[in-house]
Structure 1
C-alpha cells in the first residue's frame, strides 16, 4: 500500500514538473511573439515619435529654469516659493526622467551621446554616481525584478524608521545624502578611481549651479546652496514612493524558483495611472508604462506610451496579470500596511504555473 502511494506521489510530482515546464515554454514563446510585435511597431515610428516628443517635453520643463532665476530676484516670499517649485521640477526631470532614459540608452540612437547625457544629467546635475546607478538598476534590478536577494527592492527598506518618517520626512534629506552615499559605496567596492571621478564631476555641477544662482539671481553662495537642496527635496518623497509602490507588495520569488521572464515582469511590476504630473516629471517608463519599460527597457518614454495598448492586450490574452493602480491608492496601502510591506521580510511566492 505504501509503495502504491509513493508511486502515485512520484507520478503527481512528475506531472507537476511537466506542467510547469510546458507553461514556462509557452510563456517564453509568448514573450518572443510580443517582442516581434513591438519591434514591428517601433520600426514604423519616425525619429520624432521615438525621441523628438521626449526632447520637446524636456526642453519645455527646462523653460522653468530661467523663470525660477527671475523669481528668485524678487524679495517676495511667494515668488521665492514659486521659484523653488519651478527649480524642483527641473531637478526632478534631470534626476529621474533624463537620467533614467540615458542609463537605458533611450534618449537617442547614439550610444556615445547617451553616455554623455548619462553623466550630465545624473552626476553633474543630480549628484549621484552613474556607475553605482548602473550597477544597482541596470545590472541587478531589471534582470532580477522581485527575486529575493537580487532585485527585490530591499535596498529601499529602512525598518528602523516609522511610517511617517520614512514616507514623508526622511526623503527630504535624500538630496544631501545622495552624493555621500555614492562616494562611500564606490570606495567600499574598491572603485577608488571611479569615486574620485564622480566626486569631481559632482563638485563641478554643484559649483556651476551655485554660480548660476549668484550671477542671475543675486544670491549669496550660502543662500544658493540652501536653495538648490530645498528645491531638490521637493520631489524626493515622490521619488521614494515610486520606487517602492511599483514592486514591493507584488509577488516575490526565490532565486531557485524564479518564473519565466514574462511571468516575472507581469506579476512583479505595477503601473501607476492617473498621475499625469509624475508622468511628465518622472517619465512614462517610470510611472504609467512601467511594465512596458521592464519588458522593453531600451525604448524611450514616448515609445513605451505608444506600445502600451499592444503590451496590455497581449499580456491579458495570454492569461497574465496587467497590474494597474493609482498613486493615491498605493500611498494609502503603504501607510496602512507599512509594517507588513516595509518592515517585515517579504513572503516568497514559489512559482507554480501562473500566479
Structure 2
C-alpha cells in the first residue's frame, strides 16, 4: 500500500489563499488568480484549472448547501463595480451568481468566507482598512451587511463559532492592529467592535471549532469562547524541537496554518526561516495536549518564503504552498490517510521561487513515501 505521493505538480505555481471541501472528495482551492481556481475530485491528489467567472483575482470559496460558492470584488471604485459570486455543485463549471454594487472603495484585499451551515458571510478587505461584508445562502441572492467603521486591514479573516450564539461571527483584522468585529445578531446583520489579544497578521493563523475562536502566532495561541474583549486565554506555543529536520515553531506561518477538520485543530508545517525544512505538523483539541506527525526529512537552505501548509480533506491531508509573503510553487505533497501511524510522505521535485532570485530561485527537496 502506498500511503502518499512524493512527486506532485500543480498546473501552475500557486500561493493558496483558501480552500473548501464538500466532504466527499471534491476540493476547490483559490490562489489569487484572475481567471482560475484549482479543483480536485480525489481529495487533493490531482488538480485541474477551472474558470471561476469572477471579476477579480481576490477570490474566496466556501461549501454551503450542496454547492461551492466563490466570491470576489472588482478592484476599482466606479459605481458599476460589484462584489460578485459564482457557484457550482460539482466544481466542474461555475455559474455566474449574485451581485452587490460597491460603495466607492477599492476592495483590493483578499476575500475570506465562513459559513454557519445556513448562510455564508463574505468579508473583503481594502488598503484603506475598510471591509465589505456580504451574506448569502446560495451565491445568487446577496445582502450587504454593515460593520462598525474601524481599520480591519487588507486581509481580514472571518470565523464562525456556533457555540457563541449571536456572537458567533468574528472578523479578525490584519495589518498590525488588534481591531475585530463581532456579530451581535446570529445572522450577521449587526456587529460591534472588540479587541483581540494579538493582531491577526499575514504571519498569524486563525480558526474556529469545538466552541472556540483561535488565533495563533509564532509564540502563542489565544482562545476565546465568544470573541469578547478580555475573554482570551493565552497559551504558549509548545515548539517542536528545532533540529536539522524539524520546524522550530509548530509551523504557525500564514493565515491557513490552523485548520479545523471537524474533530481536531491541525497546525500546518512551515519550511522554517532558519533554513531547516519543517518536517512535522501537530494536531490538538484543546491547545494543551499536542500530537505530532512527521512529513518529510529534508534540509532547505535559505528558503525564506515558501510554506507548505497542512490542509485536511477527510482522511487525506494536502500539504500545499501557502506563503504569508510573495512566494509560490508548483509543488505540493499529498497524503492518503494522515492518521496512519508512521506515515511518511515527501517530495523530490524542485520548488520554483521566482520572488527569491536574489538568493536563488530553485531549491531541491528530497523525501520519500511509505509503502507496505
- Which category describes the TM-score, using the shorter chain as reference length? under 0.3
Instruction: Name the TM-score, length of structure 1 as normaliser.
Output: 0.21
Of structures 1 and 2, the larger Rg is shown by: 1
Report 1 or 2 for greater relative contact order, CA contacts < 8 Å, sequence distance ≥ 6: 1
Instruction: Name the TM-score, length of structure 2 as normaliser.
Output: 0.20
* Greater fraction strand: 2
